[in-house]
Structure 1
Amino acid sequence: MFRLGSIVQVFRINPNMRSNTSGLQMPTAGLRVSRFRGGKPSRCGSQVARNTAYFARGVAINVANDGTPHICFGTSAGAVFALELSEADGKFKSALVPLPKHHKTAITAVGSAYQSRQGKWTEDLGCHLVTCDEAGGIAVWLAERIGKQGFSLVTAVPPTGQPAVSVAVRRDLVVAARLDGAVQLYGLRDGKLRADLGAHSRFISAMDIHPTKDIIATVSEDCSLGVWGLPIGGAKAECLLSVCWMHAMLTGVAFCGANSDDVAVVAYDTDEVHLYKYKA
């Protein structure tokens, strides 16, 4: 059986996807890179703003309602594409499948319930996909299957002017980390704002969500790491850890360790990785 959860954290997008170059890169356990090679979708090229390079940004693994595993990624044209994965060998099975046109600006983040749980089975796993754009808009999709009319728009959050740099799904909520330092929770099916958390004083650069607990970790250009308990199921929003890495521009954060109860943080122009523990 092909275990999707084992590759959730190792695939990435080439930020300079162009015609006849690699778009998706999926390092194997031995750090050997398997690439998808395909031409630039010509129908989207005209949507890219003048003097703007065509690139791919935002990637998430998902499982459709019919059980088909796939990877979705966004582009600078505002288009989102799906690639079906073979359960037998983990290779791509078909060509790019475009989702219905919705976004008018470049995609900034893509997330799914499956990725947010890192492949761990739960009753609320579902098959929803979430896409965000530079205008601050968010779209929630239902993945029924890979192919024509396989994705349908469930709901959409109107553009706010503040792009989401990272997005996750937890239970019936969309968790979006905004560029202005806010983390906002929206209804997965109605798009209504449920909670607004002032997490940072400057731009958020990255967010991660715990695979089993209702906890997120965020890092920002204000040099701080925050670990937050989400206001879900009657619980109140709670800061579980706040740490400042002085004179560092924090660029990445991830839960790690045996039970994902440690937090790893990296910063720009440094070879250090800082590890922290928090009390839930």
Structure 2
Amino acid sequence: PAHSVFARGIAAAGGRFVCVGEPGAWAGRWPWAGPAPADPPDPTGTSFGAVLVFDIPPKGTNVTLSEVLEQQRDPITDIAAERGQAPDGAGDLVTADDAGTLCLWSSGEEFTLLGKIPGSGCTCSSVALWNGIVAAGYGNGQIRLWEAGSGRIRAQLSAHARWIYALDLAPLTGKLLSGAEDSFVHVWKLSRNPDTDDIEVQHCHAECVTDTQVCGARFCDPAGDTFAVTGYDLSEILCYGPA
């Protein structure tokens, strides 16, 4: 029989996979079919701590469940694929869960777990991955930047006063967008110091969406010059750009 699943987090990885996060325990294979997406396989996160990896054919609708990743014991909250160029050994996929645990993966015919960053008990609600840097947003309003290859924390920002619900990265520039329940959207710029290899963060812009708990925010172009925002009980999408 078919099953209904509450999924959180979806990302295309490895050129042909779609990963979907599931917030609870995996109970076997599900028949799944649908129109063939334009992009290859995709990981999906679920409420049972499993990540379902679907293999997407170049043509046709023969989508198959390729693999189930079960390294996390708490509900999956978000999944992100590499938006830039991953350094050697850094992997190209990160998954996050309710306990704040991050798992770093290398995609392929079989997905390989490269490392696990333990949680601190605070939910990691949103993640992004760019040039081997993991940006993670948490329920306490913090953004933490991790080195994907080593799992070392490189920076910690007290970015928002309340729960962060959205992160996005502009692949061409390294701009980071964050949106939270405190009604604010911030734009940051990530870069590496060529002399020390340190990760540097610059605050670029702040926008207050009045009387709105921001629950979604995305850049609209690869350079991060424009972005769109929405919020709870908001029936519209607000777009921002240069004056």
Give the structure-2-normalised TM-score.
Answer: 0.79
Q: Which one-letter code corresponds to 2:100 in the other structure? A: G
Report if the CA contact (8 A) 1:62-1:127 is conserved.
Answer: no
Tell me, yes or no, if structure 1 residue 107 matches structure 2 residue 72.
no
- Which segments of structure 1 move beyond 4 Å, counting only runs of 4 or more? 122-127, 257-260
Pick from 40, 48, 53: which aligns with 1:69? Answer: 40
Aligned to 2:30: none
Tell whether 2:105 aligns with 1:134. Answer: no
For structure 2, the 5+ residue unaligned runs are 18-38
- CA displacement at 1:217 relative to structure 2: 0.7
Match of 1:230, SS? strand
Q: Which amino acid aligns with 1:60?
A: A
Aligned to 1:47: none
How many residues end up aligned between the 2 structures? 217
Alignment of 1:1-280 (within 5 A): 20-21=2-3, 55-63=6-14, 69-89=40-60, 91-99=61-69, 101-113=70-82, 116=83, 122=85, 128-145=92-109, 150-233=110-193, 234=198, 236-257=200-221, 260-277=224-241
Deviation at 1:58, TM superposition (A): 1.2
Does 134-143 or 227-236 show the bigger shift?
Answer: 227-236
Q: Distance in 2 between matches of 1:140 and 1:97?
A: 16
Which has a greater percent of strand?
A: 2
Query: Is the alpha carbon distance of 1:235 and 1:74 closer, same or farther for their aligned partners in structure 2, counting shifts above 3 Å?
Result: closer
| 2:86/2:132 contact within 8 Å kept | no
Q: Could you say which structure has the higher helix fraction?
A: 1
Which amino acid is 2:65 matched to? A
- Kept in 1: contact 2:13–2:81 (CA 8 A): yes
What is the deviation of 1:57? 1.4
Distance 1:224 1:194, change over 3 A: same
Q: Distance in 2 between matches of 1:112 and 1:257?
A: 17
- Let me know the Cα RMSD of the aligned residues: 2.7
What amino acid is aligned across from residue 14 of structure 2 in structure 1? Answer: V
Structure 2 CA distance, aligned partners of 1:249 and 1:136? 22
The change in CA–CA distance for 1:112 and 1:227 in structure 2 (over 3 A counts) is same
**Alpha carbons 2:214, 2:231 under 8 Å: kept:** yes
How far apart are residue 107 of structure 1 and its match? 0.6
